[in-house]
Structure 1
Amino acid sequence: MPDIGLGTSGHEGDEGTKRSVTAALDVGYRHVDTAQMYGNERAVGEAIAESPVDRDDVVLATKIHPDNLGYDDATRTARESLDRLGVDAVDLLYVHWPHSAYDPEETLRAMDDLRDEGVTDHVGLSNFTPDLLAEARDLLESPVAAHQVECHPLLPQAELRADARDHGHALVGYSPLGRGKALDDPLLSDIAEKHDTTTAAVCLAWAFDREALVPIPKGSGDHVRANYEARELRLDDEDLDRIEAYDRRERFIDPDAAAWNR
């Protein structure tokens, strides 16, 4: 898994999505994340197909919509995702949210079958709690390659990061800038000023320093390159200790149906 990916949730239309994916691949990103829910799989696929970067060098991930997680719908719509993306298989296929049509036995059997049939190379989960992760591991024949959750310095997800380390999968962190709301945080801003950099770079540098954590920031325009170049920033032990001890903890994506609210 590359150490950074491009998140594509919320991009402005097909052309905006294509521009961002194209820019990301040109800069050096080799991991692109989309979902049935985002409505942009076709644009993502077109950008990858038109790029001079070899398709085999790109980790392409998509996610099955929560309403499509019944066995028949999951297997059908996963293939429809391949058609929209214009690929024979995706590298990583996630269960997007474990609610709505999610049924552990039926959904996870579908994921195993999709992997066995070559629709995906790897199986991932997204927005699971530790208990649901443990249940899924017991039911799946496939190894869990990645677990995707909101993760940033204000929501460090220590338990899920430890789970990823213990079980050998990546924790893929979406909204690593806290949907932009972490950028005005006083502690993170102070650390950014110390390093003469941006708060966004501090958030991403924190993620790069965490074992098994892969941030997937959304980006457009100059932000695509700036996020990639944040890989060069190194926070010192004092910075990391201050973030670790910080008493502000906030989740910015918190739907009522989320597993942690049930």
Structure 2
Amino acid sequence: MVQRYGMAPHFPGLTTGSCPAQPITACNHPAEILGKSEKFRNYYRGTNTGRRLSWQTKMGTVDLKATFGKGQKHELNVSTYQMCVLMLFNNAGQLSYKEIEQATGIPASDLKRSEPVTQSLACDKGKNVLRKEPISKDIADTDTFLFNDKFTSKFFKVKIGTVVAQRETEPENQETRQRVEEDRKPLIEAAIVGITKARSVMNHNNIVAEVTKQLQSRFPPNPVVIEKRVVSLIEREFLGRDKGDRKLYRYLAQKECIVS
């Protein structure tokens, strides 16, 4: 499959290590990929019942055959996201950042911030298979990208890695911490409910100790956050204070529902 710039994907074999539990990420696959992915989807559905197949486009790698100026050929090892961007240049001489974002559907957080796909393709010296105008290390909405037909390498196979993301600003750090805290709330509450259900009645210090012990392999829960989740569970009547000793918390058996 050779098109304008001779870029055609070849996929390495799937392994169980390529399929960890991750949030589902989506982007628009190139037309050359859609037929093959649909054929595999039909095969998978035909050999597996009761299972769902989801594409983790944020993960995995692709071997991309590319032809540059004067017919120089290389095999680029790129991420799936990078492949989706590069394949656009089979049919375009240059593209703006906004055009790439719209065509691929890759979230801006991955395209230019947390794992900057465009930056790794255009700004990594010695591996810049794209050119960016204006020349700078930062990616802006007004930037334009061109296929670098003057790209050269002494190696036939070239691995295009992902550049280190820019340092987050303090507001971004605070937003990240808030998202992490929100994601941890259900886990902390589930641990509290499970522990108090097994023990029926527990005091506050024991709850904090047991929750910390149970979750420490995943993350170190903050005692202040645990206390807030206990209060929240009391307000929602998953737990109740003991009438004789308000320092004791009692699991309310009538609230048989899942904490989420």
Q: TM-score range by the shorter chain?
A: under 0.3
Structure with the bigger RCO (C-alpha within 8 Å, sep 6+) is 1
TM-score (norm 2): 0.25
TM-score (norm. length: structure 1): 0.25
Say which structure is richer in helix: 1
